[in-house]
């Protein structure tokens, strides 16, 4: 059948199972938006306040579901406003397809109005990107974009579509979505070798990252650690994969990880690294990281194997299939002496002291968990509040904690919360933790939450400073607080009302308990401002370049 480019655009989106699209219109994509208007019963379009918010929303949608998030922006500044969101998804291996408009093909390269070479701009932060120059190529290019986003190590793909392509006509043939090829192969000899090493270990430890967040990877990991009694530590990106309270879960590793996890890495004799890349926030000193251990690394991306830390055995493959092949070779075993050491270290972990007369982050987060129950989804911005959330939330499911890890994008949270809420439905409880510094970055997306009546509860830790940077200035820069006290006078309660949502301010735990209980009853979005001390720190902390011997506990 004969269709124009805009009709093909919508048909392929529907073909790929897209039900929600985040975006912002503009001249170069008006043909696409006209067709989306005609197909509003097939695809829900969510209009955000800013293209960056739309990109983060597509990201949050993907993280909450495992499906591909989709974002659409116009040319020039619309396209460049997506860059931070695309880079965020790239660093955390999130499947996303970003569509941008551009000026007509005949004018490309002439510096036309709102022209930007977005293909070149995004080349380093996408798995692949395309500029469609002929309408005949549009359908298959879009299909390739969705396939690439979900194949192997997942990530974002960009498709740039000049305006004349959206109007041109060609023959269109519908196709069934191509089945994503799963990496099922692995080196069986290496897997046997790994199993032998694990079976001989006296102090084994599993260290896993965001690469095992999918349901397929979670269960084999849990089976491994319970079959062979192997304690497990995780990165920020993998919170929730092994449930809170599981006896094999010894907590988060890294700069703000717990003492036990970091000490276990230093003392283990075998380290099994699954779906993780030994980032500089975990392997703070690559030369001393797990220096006493035989290191086995399993990752779907061969380029990550041995990249940051020298490993003894590198296995390329999907963690679910590699572990599936390894599990029958793993002996059922107990490690009583090793577990005794783990328990002794846990007694030395940092535990904040509670104070009912003032608001303390761990108390606020604990109360949120108490009132929300185990099925809530938590989203964070970036900063101290992010680390407190990672430390104190009682995670219950693998996709229940959404945060920007690799890029550390301040302003990520509200857009991502909107995407998660749209993906999961209004009956799903979504709570966003932020700080006053991060929140100022993209709080304009409040209007989006209001417009779509999304019941997102935003908990704002307001210490009136840029807390994480101030903490570093306190520890390493002689308390020279350069530009970390912005002297802002923002009244979040009044601002909330101005956006059309409900706002609360709390100064002690009792006030917060009441405010949060009321927020749970609201049909639309709610902000709860929590006044905390500007010198409240994220502890423990290992300085960059350090190791367990450099840990700061007070």
Distance CA 125, CA 229 (A): 39
User: Is 114 marked active-site?
Assistant: yes
Catalytic residue from among 16, 130, 142, 163: 163
Catalytic residue from among 114, 346, 371, 428: 114
| Paired strand residues for 504 | 528
Residue at token pair 């982050």: 361
Distance CA 193, CA 467 (A): 47
Which strands make up the sheet holding 20-24, listed edge to edge? 44-47, 20-24, 69-73, 96-102, 156-162, 128-131
CB atoms within 10 A of CB 442: 25
Q: Interior CA angle at 26 toward 25 and 30, to 5°? A: 80
Distance CA 408, CA 394 (A): 22
User: Is 513 marked active-site?
Assistant: no
Q: Interior CA angle at 225 toward 154 and 252, to 5°? A: 65
CB atoms within 10 A of CB 38: 12
User: Is 278 marked active-site?
Assistant: no
Pairing of strands 313-316, 20-24: unpaired
User: Is 51 marked active-site?
Assistant: yes
Catalytic residue from among 468, 471, 499, 529: 468
User: Is 113 marked active-site?
Assistant: yes
Look at the alpha carbons of 108, 110, 113, 115 in this order and tell me if their dihedral is positive or negative.
positive
Which of 102, 117, 71 shows the shortest CA–CA distance to 165?
Answer: 102
Distance CA 205, CA 182 (A): 27
Catalytic residue from among 35, 51, 115, 304: 51
Catalytic residue from among 113, 333, 344, 518: 113
The phi-psi region of residue 521 (left if phi > 0; otherwise alpha if psi is between -120 and 50; otherwise beta) is: alpha
Residues found in the chain: 554
CA atoms within 13 A on the CB side of 417: 34
Residues designated as active site: 51, 113-114, 163, 468
């Amino acid at each position: 059948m004969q269709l124009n480019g805009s009709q093909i655009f919508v048909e392929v989106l529907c073909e790929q199972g897209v039900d929600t699209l985040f975006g912002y219109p503009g001249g170069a994509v008006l043909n696409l938006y006209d067709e989306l208007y005609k197909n509003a019963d097939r695809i829900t379009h969510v209009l955000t306040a800013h293209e960056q918010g739309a990109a983060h929303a597509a990201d949050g949608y993907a993280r909450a579901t495992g499906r591909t998030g989709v974002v659409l922006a116009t040319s020039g500044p619309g396209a460049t406003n997506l860059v931070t969101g695309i880079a965020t998804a790239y660093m955390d291996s999130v499947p996303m397809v970003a569509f941008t408009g551009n000026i007509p093909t005949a004018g490309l390269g002439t510096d036309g109005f709102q022209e930007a070479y977005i293909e070149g701009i995004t080349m380093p932060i996408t798995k692949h990107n395309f500029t469609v120059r002929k309408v005949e190529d549009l359908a298959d290019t879009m299909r390739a974009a969705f396939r690439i986003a979900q194949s192997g190590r997942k990530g974002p793909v960009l498709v740039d579509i000049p305006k004349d392509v959206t109007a041109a006509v060609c023959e269109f043939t519908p196709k069934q979505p191509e089945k994503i090829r799963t990496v099922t192969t692995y080196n069986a000899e290496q897997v046997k070798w790994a199993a032998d090493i694990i079976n001989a270990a006296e102090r084994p430890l599993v260290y896993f990252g965001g690469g095992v967040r999918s349901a397929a990877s979670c269960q084999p990991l849990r089976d491994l650690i319970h079959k062979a009694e192997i304690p497990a530590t995780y990165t920020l990106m993998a919170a929730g994969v092994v449930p809170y309270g599981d006896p094999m879960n010894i907590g988060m590793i890294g700069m703000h990880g717990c003492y036990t996890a970091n000490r276990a890495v230093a003392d283990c004799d075998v380290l099994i690294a699954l779906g993780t890349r030994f980032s500089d926030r975990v392997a703070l000193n690559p030369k001393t990281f797990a220096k006493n251990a035989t290191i086995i690394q399993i990752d779907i991306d061969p380029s990550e194997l041995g990249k940051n830390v020298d490993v003894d055995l590198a296995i390329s493959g999907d963690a679910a299939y590699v572990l599936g092949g390894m599990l029958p070779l793993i002996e059922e075993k107990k490690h009583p002496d090793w577990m005794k050491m783990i328990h002794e270290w846990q007694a030395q972990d940092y535990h904040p002291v509670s104070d009912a007369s003032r608001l303390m982050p761990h108390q606020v987060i604990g109360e949120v968990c108490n009132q929300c129950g185990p099925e809530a989804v938590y989203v964070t911005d970036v900063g101290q509040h992010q680390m407190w959330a990672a430390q104190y939330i009682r995670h219950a499911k693998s996709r229940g904690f959404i945060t920007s890890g690799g890029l550390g994008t301040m302003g990520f949270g509200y857009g991502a919360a909107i995407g998660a809420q749209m993906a999961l439905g209004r009956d799903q409880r979504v709570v966003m933790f932020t700080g006053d510094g991060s929140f100022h970055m993209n709080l304009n997306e409040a209007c989006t939450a209001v417009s779509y009546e999304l019941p997102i509860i935003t908990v704002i830790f307001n210490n009136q400073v840029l807390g994480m940077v101030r903490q570093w200035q306190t520890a390493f820069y002689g308390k020279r607080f350069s530009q970390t006290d912005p002297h802002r006078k923002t009244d979040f309660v009044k601002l909330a009302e101005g956006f059309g949502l409900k706002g609360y301010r709390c100064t002690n735990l009792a006030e917060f308990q009441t405010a949060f209980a009321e927020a749970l009853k609201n049909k639309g979005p709610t902000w709860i401002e929590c006044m905390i001390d500007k010198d409240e720190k994220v502890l423990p902390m290992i300085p960059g370049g350090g190791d367990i011997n450099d840990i700061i506990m007070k």
